[in-house]
Amino acid sequence: MIDLYTAGTSNGQRASIMLEATGLPYRAHKVDLLAGAQRSPDFLKLNPAGQIPVIVDHGGPGGRPITVAQSGAILLYLAERSGRFLPTDPVRRTQVFEAFMQVMTDVAPASAALFYMGKATEPPNPDVMAYCKNRFLSTLVQVDRRLSRHPWLAGEEISIADFALYPTMAGRKAILEEASGLSDLRRWVQTMALRPDVARGMTVPG
């Protein structure tokens, strides 16, 4: 059994979507971020950084419990644990890693910058927000180009890269809708939204 400690953020949703997609048994525990539960002594024992998500796999390697933090690391761990969504073929595996890192190092941080800069001043600085928005859109252009060549981010099969990206795009629906172009990205978002495992994962922790 896997215990998932999470909240309704894109980071948390990555982990819950992946758990739903792999079919691994898990229990979700809601971490109340607004109440500061992520800074409680019990939670800090799981992740000293005080960030969600965190999983505790009680049947980890060698049958021993293992704790994993960071949404990207959790996706990689669950892919290896289940044998799904991360190819063993070296070429295809490298393609998945490339797409996955594009999401985690380009798209997700650009989206996070929009969030944090929107809260940095009151009211938000319009020039800073315009810069952040344009930076985010520039990362989406690259993703759209990738999706113009294949149905999924890393090729012909869905992978951890797709599960990593979807929560960010769901949270930035308004920006995507008003942007010009990006037709392949829009097609991909609609396809992902119709997957039952994705829909279930997006509602965790409830």
Q: What is the pLDDT of residue 140?
A: 98
| pLDDT confidence of residue 120 | 86
CA atoms in the 13 A half-sphere facing the CB of 194: 6
- Of the candidates 33, 173, 193, the one whose C-alpha atom is nearest the C-alpha of residue 202 is 193
Encoded tokens for 117? 């800069």
Alpha carbon distance 126, 106 (integer Å): 22
Beta-sheet pairing, 54-57 with 66-69:
antiparallel
Q: What is the pLDDT of residue 121?
A: 87
pLDDT per residue as tens, the chain (206 positions)? 999 999 999 999 999 999 999 999 999 999 999 999 999 999 999 999 999 999 999 999 999 999 999 999 999 999 999 999 999 999 999 999 999 999 999 999 999 999 999 888 899 999 999 999 999 999 999 999 999 999 999 999 999 999 999 999 999 999 999 999 999 999 999 999 999 999 999 999 97
Read off the amino acid at residue 110: A
In this prediction, residue 61 carries a pLDDT of 93
Q: Integer distance in angstroms from the first to the last C-alpha of the chain?
A: 19
- Give residue 80's pLDDT: 97
Which residues have a Cβ under 8 Å from the Cβ of 18 and sit 6 or more positions away? 74, 75, 78, 79, 85, 160, 163, 201
